[in-house]
Amino acid sequence: MDAEERARRSAEAMWRGDGASAWFGMTLTHVAEGTATLELAVEAHHANGHGICHGGVVFALADSAFAFACNSRNVTTVAFQNAITYLAPARLGDRLSATARERSLAGRNGIYDATVTREDGTVIAEFRGHSRALGTQLFEE
């Protein structure tokens, strides 16, 4: 099995059990070894008291992209530290995209950066996630 097929099958296995990403309204639009992109249309239930997209929703989108990227090798992998910097607001009707990319993978530990943008290219947030591989598989190879 090549890396592209492994990433696709890993994503399928994860998506089947990922009620949170589906509940938020996210869609997985791209996955390959060490990278993934998810999208989300900002709706009324995503807004906070200021009428902008809640930071937790933006974080969840970036975190989900990170999760699909770091699990793309069919090794069960979890986060052990994440941080986000918010740079601009997202508003009702905006379509957000989060793309996560692997920056480092050494043994069981990985570092991934995810950029969240609006459809006009404006960067909404920058996220960094640190992962730890657990050593089990998402699907049997």
Domains recognised in the chain with CATH numbers: 3-133 (3.10.129.10)
| pLDDT for the residue numbered 72 | 97
- Coil, strand or helix: which one is 136? coil
pLDDT of 94 > 90? The answer is yes
Confidence of residue 135 (pLDDT cuts 50, 70, 90): confident
- Coil, strand or helix: which one is 71? coil
23-79 tens-digit pLDDT: 999 999 999 999 999 999 999 999 999 999 999 999 999 999 999 999 999 999 999
E strands, 1-141, are 27-32, 35-41, 77-86, 95-106, 109-118, 123-133
Question: How far apart (Å, rounded) are the C-alpha atoms in residues 31 and 27?
Answer: 11
| pLDDT for the residue numbered 79 | 96
High-pLDDT (> 70) share of the chain, %? 100
The predicted model gives 9-16 an average pLDDT of 96
Given the structure tokens 């069981």, which residue do they identify? Answer: 108
The predicted model gives 11-22 an average pLDDT of 95
Mean pLDDT of the chain: 96
Report phi then psi at 3, rounded to 5.
Answer: -60, -40
Question: How far apart (Å, rounded) are the C-alpha atoms in residues 74 and 137?
Answer: 5
Question: How far apart (Å, rounded) are the C-alpha atoms in residues 36 and 25?
Answer: 16
Neighbours of 141 (CB within 10 A): 8
